[in-house]
Amino acid sequence: MSARARVLVVDDELEMAKLVADIARDMGHEPTALTAPLLALPLLEEREFDLIVTDVRMPEIDGIELIERIARFDPRTAIIAMTAFGSIDTAVRAMRAGAFDYLPKPFQPADLALRMERALGQRAMRVELTALRSEVAHRFSISGMIGRSRAIEEVIALVRRVADSPATVLVSGPSGSGKEIVARALHGESRRRGRKFVAVNCAAIPEGLIEAELFGVRKGAYTDARSDRPGMFQEADGGTLFLDEVSELAPPLQAKLLRALQEREVRPVGSVTSEPIDVRVVAATNCDLRAAVAERAFREDLFYRLAVLEIAIPPLKHRTDDILPLAEHFLARAATNAGKPIAGFSGAAVKRLLAYDWPGNVRELENAIERAAALCDGGRISPDDLPEGVRARRGAPDFLEAAADRRMTLEELQREYAQIVLRRAGGKKQRAAALLGVDRRTLQRWFGGGSDGEEGA
């Protein structure tokens, strides 16, 4: 017997809904019965259910479509489909839509109880796998590159192909998209992984100091130079140097960086000789360097020296398949740090995470999950734990959602909306046509009928 579970029963026949709910209750579970199928999805936004038992043939919405939408909403939810119109074809459609099992009516209560236990056991396994997914993804991804979108898979494949090349790499992408993670992956997959990975943010170091930071300084080069000090090129010798925000380098530094890359040697500040270096350089930028070259804000020769190999990371909003794996990874880490037994995200929270555009990309997602873990006082992250901007509802207006539920065509939707406008115009076709931006003859074709008594109005 599984632990007490929340069970949602959806059947337009009241007696059948009550029967299934009674069976669930006798098993020690907490049932909720609905005879209005269209209420199921709004209820799922507010509450989380472990198991859903739904009829397939219902007047308001096709049960197969309901199963598809529930499965998209939260793929971890266990679903059992039942119908009096049993057939192999219906069973196959239900299973493909996302149902765990299929039960023809009439059925024996013991048969339904057994299937419910199996479905809940399957759901428990899914929840456990979800909790472990972050750890597994981290273990088997390239240096923490987590995601399952086609875009990130292509990035990972490219990293593997070019990791051992000595050529410089330019990683581009918006702020917070994970450019340093890609740079570390290149280092971790290369033969240089046993040597240092040195990262420098070119925008964070004052212009007067960055030359010394990059190339080193000799004793006496200036007042505070009391001893020789190696730069980051020397520190990364044999390893990888990551130059973040390389577009922020001033023109004189661009010229010196170009020489270092071409000659594979650096000259410390205050020195009259150069030192050889063996460094793999990975540069990153969140701006369009080609446009900067065209505007003469960045050296063309340096751009081509840096962009021997290019890796572009799309913004998170263009790779939504990565949102949930990343969120689960961040939650596992945040929950451990906070010492909280947080099992995962509610279905409603998952929907909010997937609907948000994430303008701050992966960094914003990480911060949002850390905040949610700190605020969470239950077993799962709910929408209330998420930042206000993330939990705000987004989507189509209610009437469009209802139209989609009814599977209306565009022509049917157009006619129904026109009827609403016509009623509000007091039945006057000419006035309604003006409001709709069409001519009166179009309305007459749609609804028939002759003059509405306002010719020339």
Residue with the larger pLDDT of the pair 157 and 219: 157
Helical packing angle, 323-338 and 361-375, nearest 10° = 40
Give 231's contacts (C-beta < 8 A, 6+ positions apart): 212, 213, 214, 215, 216, 217, 266, 268
| 6-137 and 150-314 have identical folds | yes
- 248 DSSP assignment: G
User: Distance (Å, rounded) from C-alpha 351 to C-alpha 361?
Assistant: 17
Instruction: For the domain made up of 6-137, give the CATH fold.
Output: Rossmann fold (3.40.50)
Q: What is the pLDDT of residue 281?
A: 96
- State pLDDT tens for residues 281-290: 999 999 999 9
- Quick check: helix, strand or coil at residue 304? helix
User: Distance (Å, rounded) from C-alpha 154 to C-alpha 389?
Assistant: 31
Residue with the larger pLDDT of the pair 330 and 450: 330
Per-residue pLDDT averaged across 23-45, rounded?
A: 88
**99 contacts 67 by C-beta, under 8 angstroms:** yes
Per-residue pLDDT averaged across 347-375, rounded?
A: 92
- State pLDDT tens for residues 266-283: 999 888 889 999 999 999
In the chain, the percentage of residues whose pLDDT exceeds 90 is 44
Minimal CA–CA distance to 94: which of 337, 405, 285, 104?
104
b/e map of 366-388 (b: 16 or more CB within 10 Å)?
Answer: bebbbebbeebeeebbbbebbee
Task: Give whole-number Cα distances, 248 to 61, 126, 211, 223, in Å.
Answer: 57, 47, 13, 27
User: Distance (Å, rounded) from C-alpha 100 to C-alpha 80?
Assistant: 6
Q: What is the pLDDT of residue 313?
A: 94
The whole-model pTM stands at: 0.58
User: Distance (Å, rounded) from C-alpha 112 to C-alpha 29?
Assistant: 14
Q: What is the pLDDT of residue 128?
A: 67
* CATH (residue range 319-391): 1.10.8.60
Q: What is the pLDDT of residue 453?
A: 45
b/e map of 254-281 (b: 16 or more CB within 10 Å)?
Answer: bebbbebbeeeebbbbeeeeebebebbb
Burial of 423 (0-12, 13-18, 19+ CB in 10 A): exposed
**345 contacts 381 by C-beta, under 8 angstroms:** yes
Q: Please say if the pLDDT value at position 253 is more than 90.
A: yes
In the chain, domain spans: 6-137, 150-314, 319-391, 408-447
Burial of 14 (0-12, 13-18, 19+ CB in 10 A): exposed
Helices (H), 317-385: 323-338, 347-355, 361-375
- Quick check: helix, strand or coil at residue 13? coil
Judged by average pLDDT, the poorest of 86-90, 182-186, 371-375, 384-388 is: 86-90
**Half-sphere exposure of residue 427: CA atoms within 13 angstroms, side-chain side:** 6
**Location of structure tokens 């917070």:** 176
With left for phi above 0 and alpha for psi between -120 and 50, is residue 183 left, alpha or beta? alpha
Residue with the larger pLDDT of the pair 374 and 449: 374
User: Distance (Å, rounded) from C-alpha 291 to C-alpha 83?
Assistant: 61
Q: What is the pLDDT of residue 371?
A: 94
Per-residue pLDDT averaged across 44-49, rounded?
A: 80
Let me know if domain 150-314 sits in CATH 3.40.640.10.
no
